[in-house]
Amino acid sequence: MRHNYHLTNSSKEQLTSLACICEDLDIKVPPFVLYPGKSTKACNLVDLPPQTDTMSTAKGWITTHSFRYWVESIFLKNIPSTRPVLLILDGHSTHITWELTKYRERNLIELLCLPSHASHILQPLDVGVFGPMKNSYTKHCDICLSQTNTNIFNAGKTIKKVIDKYVFGGLFKKAYYDAMSANNVLSAFESTGIWPINRNRLNWDKVAPAEAQFKTTAKHFGFCWTIRILGWE
């Protein structure tokens, strides 16, 4: 499981998408999108991938409450009843609470928190999925922005040269499907040595001491990808 921060407009509002993949391709966990706001009403993001769930948080960031909701209402409802199950994620503070720990124990969910500054070699989504997703999203944004007065992405609405909430869902859906290919998912688990288990697949030079790490930060450390939404309302 991994969450990405999406830069929106000059007000620095954010959307956060939580994605989850499994080495068993028959198991599919739909994305979860967080948007900024205090309303409990359904958001007006449209044309998201089927079964995508949404929730508002104060700043559109992951919170303890929204993460627990994801575990209980999205993750558990979309995986088989076979237990135990291993959930691999980063050590973000919202992922580790006493209440959630007891809940996971009752539901036989084993949690593996990755060490800090290592997701670029250990986190399958970072290694094999988010790069293609970012590239695909950028490509579809460029296509969208190059067109005027069309409703190719959003039937019934005129698309202007702006990426806003009316077109975000369609663009995200295209990028999501492009990136979540069977080849990308399987390659992501293999490249991190998680499955098949192979510790020799890891490039330990990427977690070398501070001096070497500083030299490679710009190239290797990509914890999140950003998308710009102009005209967010």
Residue with tokens 């991994």: 2
- Estimate to the nearest angstrom the gap between the alpha carbon of 216 and the chain centroid: 24
**pLDDT value of residue 146:** 83
Domain residue ranges of the chain, discontinuous segments joined by +:
2-220
- Per-residue pLDDT band for 157 (boundaries 50, 70, 90) equals low
The pLDDT of 9-24, averaged and rounded, is 78
Q: What number does CATH give the domain 2-220?
A: 3.30.420
Spatial distance between the Cα atoms of 15 and 34, rounded to a whole number of angstroms: 6
Stronger pLDDT, 156 or 100, i.e. the higher one: 100
**Model confidence pLDDT, tens digit, residues 122-137:** 999 999 999 999 999 9
- Per-residue pLDDT band for 6 (boundaries 50, 70, 90) equals very low
- Per-residue pLDDT band for 13 (boundaries 50, 70, 90) equals low
- Estimate to the nearest angstrom the gap between the alpha carbon of 125 and the chain centroid: 8
**Model confidence pLDDT, tens digit, residues 201-227:** 988 888 776 654 444 333 333 333 333
H/E stretch holding 182: helix 182-191
Question: Which tokens belong to 109?
Answer: 């969910």
Spatial distance between the Cα atoms of 57 and 15, rounded to a whole number of angstroms: 10
- Angle formed by the axes of helices 130-145 and 165-179, nearest 10°: 140
Q: What is the mean pLDDT of the chain?
A: 80
**Model confidence pLDDT, tens digit, residues 31-73:** 999 988 876 555 668 899 999 999 999 988 999 999 999 999 9
Contact (Cβ atoms closer than 8 angstroms) between residue 224 and residue 133:
no
Q: Give the whole-number percent of the chain exceeding pLDDT 90.
A: 52
